[in-house]
């Protein structure tokens, strides 16, 4: 495949098998220490390599995105799972969703506080219940019956960095999407060797958010979408706007009804429709033929892609 350039805010690539993000926002090079920047790149690369190994082994797309997102959930550098931001009560309150493109089956959970890997519980909702979306105690009661879902205490999620961020927001009586106005979410979209698609998204939401607040990440059609006929999408941004614009589904709808390519559809939603509404953030979108788009209308987006031949690229900052 040769060089893989995802440095632009509207990058498009071909022959991708896995695309990931770790949040978007005012991510400026001068605001990241060399150590933190290196940790971000290392986390993205590790997630890509885990997912790619599964792709090479012939895993289905759902398994690839779940395993990839689990790596990001386990990495405290990102706002999902361990190291998630804290709400107004000082609690990590987690959301996740996952969707399979071959039959548009989906699973989602919101407001859980004891689940080590929320994306795995979201998959269990998809595969082991007749529902799509479970919240709070109901989701955690299901988790307690499942061997594959690990239950942990709040101390597992806690980091000093997130506590300091919460205190800063409390002091200013404000709500932040996380450090440096970053929309902290992680996500993955993948296609398997049979060219079926899947998408997964996981988040801790906003620092100092009102407890019970739900953003776009667990909402099918807003933060997550997968349909083999069009594309798989995972979003990161100001969730209220992404919900109102049904961003993930809108990209798919443009491809289905207007016959737009994945890059044209994703760029149109992120750089035009969303910005007209006042919303900011980005998406990763992948079509079954391997065409992928990574548009964002913020200063940066933690992102990465790996192609069928193993070529890998990661990026943080943006340029137009």
Which DSSP category does 271 fall into? I
* Residue 290 scores a pLDDT above 90: yes
- What residue segments make up the domains of the chain, in order of their start? 10-317
Q: For residues 54 and 198, is the Cβ–Cβ distance under 8 A?
A: no
Q: Which two tokens stand for residue 4?
A: 């893989």
Q: How far is Cα of residue 78 from the mean position of the Cα atoms in its chain?
A: 10
pTM of the predicted structure, to 2 decimals: 0.95
Structure tokens at 269: 């939603």
Positions annotated as catalytic residues are 185
Mean pLDDT, range 172-193, rounded to an integer: 73
| Lookup: tokens for 207 | 């620092």
For the domain bounded by 10-317, which CATH number is listed?
Answer: 3.60.20.30
Residue among 41, 24, 32, 14 at smallest CA distance from 313? 41
**Per-residue confidence (pLDDT) for residue 179, from 0 to 100:** 40
Contact 304, 47 (CB under 8 A): yes
Question: CB–CB of 21/186 below 8 Å?
Answer: yes
Distances (CA, A) of 50 to 18, 57, 195, 229: 10, 11, 19, 26
Under a CB-based contact definition with an 8 Å cutoff, are residues 294 and 301 in contact? yes
Q: What is the Cα–Cα distance from 308 to 1, expressed in whole angstroms?
A: 8
Closest C-alpha among 320, 317, 316, 308 to residue 13? 308
pLDDT cut 70: percent of the chain above it: 96
Neighbouring C-beta atoms of residue 64, cutoff 10 Å: 26
| Over residues 189-213, mean pLDDT | 95
Nearest to 17, CA basis, from 267, 313, 218: 313
Sequence-ordered list of residues with C-beta below 8 angstroms from that of 152, at least 6 positions apart, any chain: 114, 115, 116
Tens digit of pLDDT for each residue in 3-34?
A: 689 999 999 999 999 999 999 987 888 888 99
DSSP state of 25: E
- Averaged pLDDT of the chain: 94
Across the range 304-316, mean pLDDT stands at 97
pLDDT bin (cut points 50, 70, 90) of residue 174 is low
271's tokens: 């750089």
Residue 3: the pLDDT is 60
């Amino acid at each position: 495949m040769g060089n893989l350039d995802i440095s632009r805010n509207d990058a498009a690539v071909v022959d991708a098998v896995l695309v990931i993000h770790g949040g978007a926002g005012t991510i400026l090079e001068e605001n990241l220490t060399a150590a933190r920047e290196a940790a971000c790149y290392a986390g993205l690369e590790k997630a890509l390599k885990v997912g790619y190994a599964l792709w090479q082994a012939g895993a289905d797309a759902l398994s690839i995105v779940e395993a990839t997102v689990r790596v990001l959930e386990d990495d405290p550098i990102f706002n999902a799972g361990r190291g998630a931001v804290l709400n107004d009560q000082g609690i990590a309150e987690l959301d996740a969703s996952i969707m399979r493109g071959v039959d548009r089956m989906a699973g989602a959970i919101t407001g859980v506080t004891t689940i080590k890997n929320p994306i795995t519980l979201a998959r269990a909702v998809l595969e082991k219940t007749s529902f799509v979306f479970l919240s709070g105690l109901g989701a955690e009661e299901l988790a307690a019956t499942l061997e594959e879902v690990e239950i942990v205490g709040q101390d597992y999620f806690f980091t000093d960095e997130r506590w300091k961020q919460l205190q800063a927001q409390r002091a200013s009586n404000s709500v932040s999407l996380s450090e440096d106005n970053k929309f902290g979410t992680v996500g993955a979209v993948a296609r398997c060797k049979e060219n079926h698609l899947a998408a997964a998204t996981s988040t801790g939401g906003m620092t100092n958010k009102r407890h019970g607040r739900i953003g776009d990440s667990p909402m099918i059609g807003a933060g997550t979408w997968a349909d083999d006929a069009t594309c798989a999408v995972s979003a990161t941004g100001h969730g209220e706007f992404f919900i109102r614009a049904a961003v993930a589904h809108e990209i798919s709808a443009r491809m289905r009804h207007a016959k737009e390519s994945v890059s044209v559809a994703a760029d149109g939603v992120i750089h035009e429709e969303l910005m007209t509404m006042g919303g900011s953030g980005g998406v990763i979108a992948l079509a079954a033929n391997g065409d992928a788009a990574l548009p964002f209308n913020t200063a940066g987006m933690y992102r990465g892609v790996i192609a069928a031949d193993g070529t890998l690229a990661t990026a943080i900052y943006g340029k137009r």
